């Protein structure tokens, strides 16, 4: 039953219109006749989240007989600009992009659309994209932090391990702070930005723990940063005093939840493979003249903890 619930929630997407002035008329007027070549652009392939996105893209491409070219931006906007120009030269039909900079990528996206390429953003918004498909990031932050605060007994000092300033990460922090308003005895005493990876999560958490030694809870805005926080907690000898949660539902987080004695107690899920598969499905419909009525597809997030981790299907 729990496995069915995870599958149902992961696949049941809800659509909303972003209040950003986007309309269906923004969709490129020169839609390709079919999706034969797909270009996938990820932020950082060293993050397992984007490896899972690549896996989903390969599955989706195989199902429609398309070729796939995946490019790693290494968190560099200049790289993504170059990659889009290369995709234009290659004549791809669909670009699926997880943007490093949602505003900075807009001129390159416009060049792609002028070339008749469908552009769909995944994981985080990208200005000018035909459609955006992403986790309900506010909900993910709310669910992760609500669980953390509950497990802390509704009181104590908390640290937030933030990340790069892209919308999906901003939304997770917003969700966490939203929930904190419901817990008057929870006090957020520190917030620093990591580079979204384990090493920087370790570094910023170590710094914050030095300044705030009485902390009993830490929210990491993604699983790599949260697992870095776990290392910092253990190095400080406080594994039995501090609880940590994250966002992603990554394979590494699943293993950490199963590790006896770990301070890591929960993660709110994302579905990176589903995002790309949904992007390809929408693009195929667009080639048939079925343009999307909504600009944004939000994928629900669920909380994975030690009690239900064995039923979680993962990435």
Residue-level pLDDT at 26: 45
Beta strands 296-299 and 14-16, pairing class: antiparallel
Residues 8 and 1: their CA atoms lie apart, in Å, by 10
Residue-level pLDDT at 13: 46
Residue-level pLDDT at 10: 47
Residues 126 and 120: their CA atoms lie apart, in Å, by 8
Walk me through the domains of the chain, giving residue ranges and CATH numbers. 2-133+271-300 (3.40.50.2300), 137-269 (3.40.50.2300)
User: Each residue of 142-185: pLDDT tens digit?
Assistant: 999 999 999 999 999 999 999 999 889 999 999 999 999 999 99
H-helix segments, the chain: 2-11, 48-64, 77-90, 106-114, 137-151, 167-180, 198-211, 223-235, 251-258, 272-287
- CB-neighbour burial class of residue 148 (10 A; exposed 0-12, middle 13-18, buried 19+): buried
Beta strands 131-135 and 118-122, pairing class: parallel
Q: How confident is the model at residue 19 (pLDDT cuts 50, 70, 90)?
A: very low
- The end-to-end CA distance of the chain, in Å, is 19
**Taking every pair of C-alpha atoms in the chain, what is the biggest distance, in angstroms?**
60
Find out whether 131 and 121 touch, Cβ atoms under 8 Å: yes
Residue-level pLDDT at 20: 34
User: Each residue of 83-98: pLDDT tens digit?
Assistant: 999 999 999 999 999 9
Q: Which two tokens stand for residue 244?
A: 């940590």
Residues 183 and 52: their CA atoms lie apart, in Å, by 35
Residue-level pLDDT at 166: 87
Find out whether 280 and 61 touch, Cβ atoms under 8 Å: yes
DSSP state of 241: T
H-helix segments, 125-196: 137-151, 167-180
DSSP assignment of 254-279 equals HHHHHSTT-SEEEEEE--HHHHHHHH
pTM, rounded to two decimals: 0.81
Q: What is the mean pLDDT of residues 264-277?
A: 96
DSSP state of 149: H
Res 16 pLDDT > 60: no
Res 186 pLDDT > 50: yes
The Cβ of residue 10 has, within 10 Å, a number of other Cβ atoms equal to: 20
Res 235 pLDDT > 80: yes
Q: What is the mean pLDDT of the chain?
A: 92
Residues 219 and 242: their CA atoms lie apart, in Å, by 11
User: Each residue of 33-54: pLDDT tens digit?
Assistant: 999 999 999 999 988 899 999 9
């Amino acid at each position: 039953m729990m496995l069915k619930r995870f599958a149902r929630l992961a696949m049941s997407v809800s659509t909303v219109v972003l209040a950003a002035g986007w309309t269906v008329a923004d969709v490129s007027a020169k839609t390709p006749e079919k999706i034969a070549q797909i270009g996938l652009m990820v932020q950082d392939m060293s993050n397992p989240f984007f490896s899972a996105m690549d896996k989903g893209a390969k599955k989706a491409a195989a199902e429609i007989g398309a070729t796939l070219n995946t490019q790693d931006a290494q968190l560099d906007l200049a790289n993504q600009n170059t990659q889009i120009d290369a995709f234009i030269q290659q004549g791809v039909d669909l670009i699926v992009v997880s943007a490093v900079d949602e505003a900075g990528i807009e001129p390159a996206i416009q060049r792609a659309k002028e070339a008749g390429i469908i552009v769909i953003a995944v994981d985080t918004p990208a200005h000018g994209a035909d459609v955006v498909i992403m986790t309900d990031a506010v909900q993910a932050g709310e669910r992760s932090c609500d669980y953390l605060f509950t497990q802390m007994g509704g009181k104590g000092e908390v640290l937030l391990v933030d990340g790069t300033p892209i919308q999906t990460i901003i939304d997770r922090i917003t969700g966490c702070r939203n929930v904190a308003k419901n817990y008057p005895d929870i006090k957020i005493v520190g917030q620093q930005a990591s580079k979204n990876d384990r090493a920087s999560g370790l570094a910023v958490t170590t710094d914050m723990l030095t300044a705030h030694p009485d902390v009993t809870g830490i929210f990491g805005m993604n699983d790599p940063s949260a697992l870095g926080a776990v290392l910092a907690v253990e190095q400080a000898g406080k594994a039995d005093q501090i609880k940590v949660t994250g966002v992603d539902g990554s394979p590494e987080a699943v293993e950490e939840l199963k590790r006896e004695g770990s301070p890591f107690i929960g993660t709110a899920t994302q579905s990176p493979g589903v995002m790309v598969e949904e992007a390809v499905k929408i693009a195929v419909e667009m080639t048939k003249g079925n343009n999307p009525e909504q600009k944004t597809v939000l994928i629900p997030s669920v909380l994975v903890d030690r009690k239900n981790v064995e039923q979680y299907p993962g990435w």
